[in-house]
Chains A and B, each alone.
Chain A
Amino acid sequence: MTPIVEVESVTRRYRGTMALDNVSTALQANTITGLLGRNGAGKSTLMRIITGQEFVTAGTVRVGGQNPLENDAVLGRMIFVKESQVYPDIKVKRALEAASWFYPNWDAELAEMLMEDFALPANRAIKKLSRGMHSSVGIVIGLASRAEITLFDEPYLGLDAVARQIFYDRLLADYAEHPRTVLLSTHLIDEVANLLEHVVVIDRGRIVVDAPADDLRGRAVTVRGRAADVDEFVAHRKVLTRQGIGSLATATVTGPLDDLARTRARDLHLDVGPVSLQEFVIRTSGDLQERISA
């Protein structure tokens, strides 16, 4: 299967800083991919490059086999909803109207339904909206455009938990009816973990995880027990973290554990527990890992 978005050896350097460092990844058509990582890791830069809003220093990007840069044919197939989307000084309904002209798959009924879901006032000027409502405008446009490739970059600043759940539910429901390629960057990993089919974790400009979401479940496990037993058990494994308290210790190691390892853990009276996607990302990115391996 040819991926719909291909990023090959992309480097993006700003004066002195390396925003993306030789990044390669691909998005398969009609999948939901989570783009995860800390602030400043390079998530937004990667999304801007995919949507042709930024140049690469080196490397190539292909969307539907073409370079997205100043390519109207490609850009019309994509929508990019940003964290702090800037709109002209117009009313909500005008912004939706403008979007309906631009996106060929626009669904006015869906837009109307989403407006109700988020209690968006059609006649209010966008600049007079609260932070959360401002975010919902982006979400309504992002979903109702039904663009073949849909990118959401932290789309829910200021949205409460209920509104975020509405977003996830509507995204899933509409995606099920009208499959499309979705790239969603977020910090709220636990909230979206089950929506994702694929996960890309980026850390300081480099991709550190690029795998099917299901493979990541069980990729790491925590073992807890007597310190000596824990240390014996993890001796030949990659240890992500280890904490001790008195004679007890907890360690996170890369999994999965096979039957033999599980039996061994049972014999040593170790508690074996799962690690959530969020914990896994925390433990594979950022300074934490360096401190551990140091």
Chain B
Amino acid sequence: MLEEGTPIFLQIAEQLSADIVDGTLAEGDRVPSTNEFAAFYRINPATAAKGINMLVDDGILEKRRGIGMFVVAGARDRLIQLRRRDFTEQYVDPLLAEAKRLGIDTDALIGLITRVTATSLTNKPTSQEGEAS
């Protein structure tokens, strides 16, 4: 669940951000408390607090006195903006590097992406229909 090499508070912050982006945590939802995080991940409460406070500083979470920590309205859009900025570096660059290593040129790569996208688009609805009927 937690990995070595990355500070735990960053992992907590990333996990929370991911939950907000994919909608597991909706805007206005209450976020688990520091102690709940500590008990769940078996980590030091101060470390959990550090991760949560990072998102407070970024304006993603807000503290409501006496009730807890909540997801700010507009948090999802802001996180998506931030992630789009990192997308090239995190995904496109490594993809291009590996493609180059394997001798896949840019045209072939674009073709590959188009084909995979098409397959996943045609597959999904049929499988859902299959489940529904």
| Known contacts A176-B39, A266-B97; A214/B45 CB under 8 A | no
Nearest B residue to A263 via CB reads B93
Q: Which residues A43-93 have CB closer than 8 A to chain B?
A: none
Q: Are B3 and A274 in contact (CB under 8 A)?
A: yes
Q: Bound complex: CA of A214 vs CA of B38, how far in Å?
A: 15
Chain B residues lying within 8 Å of A197, measured Cβ to Cβ, are 44, 46-47
Indicate if B26 sits at the interface (CB-CB under 8 A): no
**Which listed residue (A196, A218, A276) contacts B44, Cβ 8 A?**
A196
Q: Are A214 and B7 in contact (CB under 8 A)?
A: yes
Q: Which residues B1-21 have CB closer than 8 A to chain A?
A: 2-9
**Which listed residue (A169, A214, A276) contacts B47, Cβ 8 A?**
A214
Size of the chain B interface, CB-CB below 8 angstroms: 23
Chain A residues lying within 8 Å of B3, measured Cβ to Cβ, are 274
Q: Bound complex: CA of A215 vs CA of B34, how far in Å?
A: 20
Indicate if A31 sits at the interface (CB-CB under 8 A): yes
| Known contacts A214-B47, A214-B50; A274/B5 CB under 8 A | yes
Nearest B residue to A279 via CB reads B4
Q: Are A217 and B43 in contact (CB under 8 A)?
A: no
Chain A residues lying within 8 Å of B45, measured Cβ to Cβ, are 172, 175-176
Indicate if B41 sits at the interface (CB-CB under 8 A): yes
| Known contacts A197-B44, A214-B50; A172/B38 CB under 8 A | yes
A40 CB, min distance to chain B CBs, angstroms: 28
B86 CB, min distance to chain A CBs, angstroms: 12
Q: Bound complex: CA of A16 vs CA of B127, how far in Å?
A: 77
Q: Are A195 and B42 in contact (CB under 8 A)?
A: yes
**Which listed residue (A168, A194, A273, A275) contacts B8, Cβ 8 A?**
A194
Q: Are A218 and B6 in contact (CB under 8 A)?
A: yes
Indicate if A213 sits at the interface (CB-CB under 8 A): yes
Q: Which residues B46-105 have CB closer than 8 A to chain A?
A: 46-47, 50, 94, 97, 101
Size of the chain A interface, CB-CB below 8 angstroms: 25
Indicate if A292 sits at the interface (CB-CB under 8 A): no
Q: Are B5 and A168 in contact (CB under 8 A)?
A: no
Q: Are A217 and B4 in contact (CB under 8 A)?
A: yes
**Which listed residue (A32, A169, A217, A276) contacts B42, Cβ 8 A?**
A169
Nearest A residue to B11 via CB reads A217
Which among B5, B35, B94 has the highest number of chain A CB atoms within 10 Å?
A: B5
Indicate if A270 sits at the interface (CB-CB under 8 A): no
A172 CB, min distance to chain B CBs, angstroms: 6
| Known contacts A217-B8, A221-B5, A274-B3; A172/B39 CB under 8 A | yes
Indicate if A119 sits at the interface (CB-CB under 8 A): no
Indicate if A288 sits at the interface (CB-CB under 8 A): no
Nearest A residue to B36 via CB reads A176
Indicate if A173 sits at the interface (CB-CB under 8 A): yes
Q: Are A172 and B42 in contact (CB under 8 A)?
A: yes
Q: Bound complex: CA of A172 vs CA of B44, how far in Å?
A: 7
Interface membership of chain A positions 193-225, coded 1 if the CB is closer than 8 angstroms to chain B and 0 otherwise: 011110000000000000001110110010000
Q: Can you show 22 pairs from A to B with CB atoms below 8 A apart?
A: A31-B46, A169-B39, A172-B42, A172-B45, A173-B35, A173-B39, A176-B34, A176-B35, A194-B8, A194-B41, A195-B42, A195-B44, A197-B47, A213-B44, A214-B9, A214-B47, A214-B50, A217-B6, A218-B6, A266-B94, A275-B5, A276-B4
Interface residues of B (CB under 8 A from A): 2-9, 34-35, 38-39, 41-47, 50, 94, 97, 101
* Beyond A175-B45, A196-B44, A218-B7, 19 additional pairs, beta carbon < 8 A: A168-B42, A172-B45, A176-B39, A176-B45, A177-B35, A194-B41, A194-B47, A197-B47, A213-B47, A214-B9, A214-B50, A217-B6, A217-B8, A218-B5, A218-B6, A269-B101, A273-B5, A275-B5, A276-B4
User: 3 closest Cβ contacts across the A-B interface?
Assistant: A274-B5, A274-B4, A176-B35
